[in-house]
Amino acid sequence: MNDKLSELLNKDTNNELLEYIKNALDKSDESPFWKEKILPFVDAILSVLFPLKEQNLLFTPEGKIEKELNQDLFYKWTDLISLRTLAFTLEISNEKNSLCRTSYKDVNYSKIDLEKLGKYLSSYKVNLIDEDNLDFPVGNYNLHTGMVTIIKSLF
């Protein structure tokens, strides 16, 4: 892929990518409201995607194996429901010391720190206790849809 986000996802660190987005937001005409929301959102996502990338264990929200972290995969995980699913998948995987709910079989899996992702999702009233209870304010979902639109406009 020849796009800036995919390039950054493959060569940069979490902090470098966040710095790029911060600078792009500073140069944009977006309100400070969006700037305050987008960086923690991207940081929460990258806090789990980069460790999965390092372990060569990337996958889609449907559990299909992905070979690289690119913009398409990143945007799939920006959906709030998908991100919630990822949190539950990794929590179960951490408990079992094995990557679960994916097409991967018999792979080495190292536990992934879920603190940033958990705090982020909890701050938006996402239920991280009962996976079957998909209950959070619709406004929070809509807010995330708006953030994704802005992120796409930065690239």
- The Cα–Cα gap between 36 and 34 comes to 5
Q: Does 69 score more than 70 pLDDT?
A: yes
Q: Does 2 score more than 70 pLDDT?
A: no
Boundaries of domain holding 12: 4-154
Whole-structure pTM over 0.85, yes or no?
yes
Angle at the Cα of 81 from the Cα atoms of 14 and 126, rounded to 5 degrees: 85
What is the pLDDT at residue 1? Answer: 39
* pLDDT tens digits along 79-134: 999 999 999 999 999 999 999 999 999 999 999 999 999 999 999 988 888 888 87
Report how many domains make up the chain: 1
How many other CB atoms are found less than 10 A from the CB of residue 130?
9
The whole-number average pLDDT for the span 11-15 is 85
